[in-house]
Amino acid sequence: MKMLQVPESVLAEHYQDLQGKPFYPALIRYMSSGPVVAMVWEGHNVVRASRVMIGNTDSCEAAPGTIRGDFSIHISRNVIHASDSVEGAQREIRLWFRSGELLDWVAGDHQSCTSPA
């Protein structure tokens, strides 16, 4: 996890598929208007699980108890982004993080879940 002021070049690459959309300039202005917190999550079915926790992109349709359902007020200010696939996550991780910024570790409680006591 890290907090950063995102360079427009990173935003342009991250949102390259949206560059032709009418809302693209406003999106880039919004995303570069202040710091963001970038995170890498891992775990079993992490893409699917994270998208359930985050909620629908449109905050009006996001369920209460989800991040967007509780904290977002408009689709253009949906508070959080989540990768839509493992491949997308891998691309985004390479874009947002240098290899030295990522830690490779095993949580101590993982073995207790898989090994008999």
Query: For the residues of the chain, what is the DSSP string, one character each?
Result: -EEEPPPHHHHHHHTGGGTTSTTHHHHHHHHTSS-EEE----STTHHHHHHHHH--SSTTTSPTTSHHHHH--SGGG-S----SSHHHHHHHHHHH--GGG------HHHHHHHS--
74 a catalytic residue: no
The residue annotated as part of the active site, out of 14, 44, 74, 81, is 81
Residues with a known catalytic role: 81
